[in-house]
Amino acid sequence: MKTRDAILAYQELQGDTDTKTLDINVVDPVSAFEIEVECTNGATSNEDNFISDIVTNIQVVDGAEVLTSLNMAQLEALHFYKMYTAPALGVSEWADGVQRHNALLLFGRKLYDPELCLVPTNYRNPQLKVTFNKAAIRAAGATGFASGTNIKLTVIAKVIEEGATPRGFLMSKIVDSFTSASSGDRRVELPLDYSYRMLMLRCWLEGYDVDEIISDVKLTCDADKFVPIDRKLKQLDAWALGEYGLFEIKHDVLRAHNTDVRTIVNKEGNSILFPGGQDDGLICIARWQWSSQLHITLLDHAGSPVGTAKKLHIAERGHAPHATVPIPFGLSDSPDTWLDPRPYGKVELVLTQATADAVVEVVTEQLRM
């Protein structure tokens, strides 16, 4: 196999609410797009505000047809569930610090999958679109992302120049997004066009585990003629921990004693804290970590609480990145074992809600032929 990188954009500056459109002007099969976004924090801090929040849509389109549609948090989680390792996330709250997130939008089961890849020449006008909202969490300024045109976008096509035998590609899309209720079922009708390799749920509300937001997951075909899934979400999440292991990144924070930090991981927190910068006279401990939060104990060497925010590093370790749970079908490498919805007239995902006001998103990964 012969591969190469084709640069579609390199640190191109984007406005606060821009949508950048890039022509996919390569002729060889594309295994993945490496998407990197960088932005600078404000002059004071940028607490609990990630690059993942401000990239609100990543699409591959052919004219009006949408082939892929995800936000950055979903992309980063899918990277983990397909590569079995965390993407390169540079998370920081430090004043004037640079945050940089890099993740792969994969069209195959893995990078350089020779059978499943995007063939741009099969489409008339293939384009990649990336949409930003710098103020998604907090207004730009001293305590958010810095004001001014300072979002930088890099996109690299990971191309298979020789050795590909394309039979299709994996198409990832968000098919539903809603705010949860405290009870009741949410029914999501799924497309019937292509086989499913995976579903992914994102159930996010800071202070809650994924399974406290959605308690039960059922997939029903033709009113229970075939029920491939009928499980507690807590069970599905536990299986995912065993299959994919822990998600690990370095996370820089600016915090004082007795404060909470929003984390990338939602569950099974096992993080370590240590001082940042030149502050070596500190004792910093993760007092507890769960439900997308970590609580900091920060003391001086005399054992007194430190009330001034200090630069700290977190070696963040845990599971369910961005409060997601994957639901795969069959053998991950064998398309013939994936869920084929075409024999059925209706396929519904039934989600039993348990906590109000959470963000719930349903992402599908299908084999597009």
Find how far residue 111's CA is from the centre of its chain.
Answer: 17
Domain boundary among the residues 162, 188, 207 is at 162
State the CATH number of the domain containing residue 285: 2.60.120.730
C-beta separation of 199 from 191 below 8 A: no
Helix 233-244 to helix 72-83 angle (10° resolution) is: 60
Q: Which of 52, 79, 366, 91 is nearest to 244 (CA)?
A: 79
The answer to whether residues 249 and 130 belong to one domain is no
The answer to whether residues 117 and 142 belong to one domain is yes
pLDDT at 63: 96
Residue 79 dihedral angles phi and psi, to the nearest 5°: -55, -45
Beta strands in 76-195 (DSSP E): 88-92, 98-106, 126-132, 151-162, 169-179, 185-189
What confidence tens digit (pLDDT) does each residue in 204-242 have?
Answer: 999 999 999 999 999 999 999 999 999 999 999 999 999
The answer to whether residues 347 and 198 belong to one domain is yes
pLDDT at 277: 73
C-beta separation of 365 from 200 below 8 A: yes
The answer to whether residues 15 and 43 belong to one domain is yes
Q: Which of 123, 230, 122 is nearest to 166 (CA)?
A: 122
The answer to whether residues 144 and 182 belong to one domain is no
Sign of CA dihedral 302, 304, 310, 312: positive
List all residues 6 or more positions away from 79 whose beta carbon is below 8 Å from its beta carbon. 86, 87, 103, 104, 106
pLDDT at 276: 86
Rounded CA-CA distance 109/365 in Å is 10
- Sequence length of the chain is 369
Rounded CA-CA distance 246/358 in Å is 24
Domain boundary among the residues 98, 132, 162 is at 162
The token pair at 115 is 């059978």
pLDDT at 281: 81
The answer to whether residues 190 and 137 belong to one domain is no
The answer to whether residues 50 and 150 belong to one domain is yes
pLDDT at 13: 98
State the CATH number of the domain containing residue 14: 2.70.9.10
C-beta separation of 20 from 9 below 8 A: yes
pTM over 0.95: yes
The token pair at 298 is 């920060």
Sign of CA dihedral 232, 191, 176, 77: positive
Domain that holds residue 302: 171-369
The token pair at 65 is 């047809």
Domain boundary among the residues 162, 185, 210 is at 162
The answer to whether residues 315 and 358 belong to one domain is yes
CB neighbours of residue 335 within 10 Å: 19
The answer to whether residues 68 and 195 belong to one domain is no
The answer to whether residues 355 and 224 belong to one domain is yes
Residue type for position 120: P
The answer to whether residues 176 and 122 belong to one domain is no
Q: Which of 114, 122, 205 is nearest to 164 (CA)?
A: 114
Stretches where the chain sits below pLDDT 50 are: none
**Element spanning 369, H or E:** none
With vertex at residue 244, the alpha carbon angle to CA 242 and CA 249, rounded to the nearest 5 degrees, is 120
The answer to whether residues 180 and 301 belong to one domain is yes
Among the residues of 198-328, which ranges form H helices?
Answer: 210-213, 233-244
Tally the domains of the chain.
2
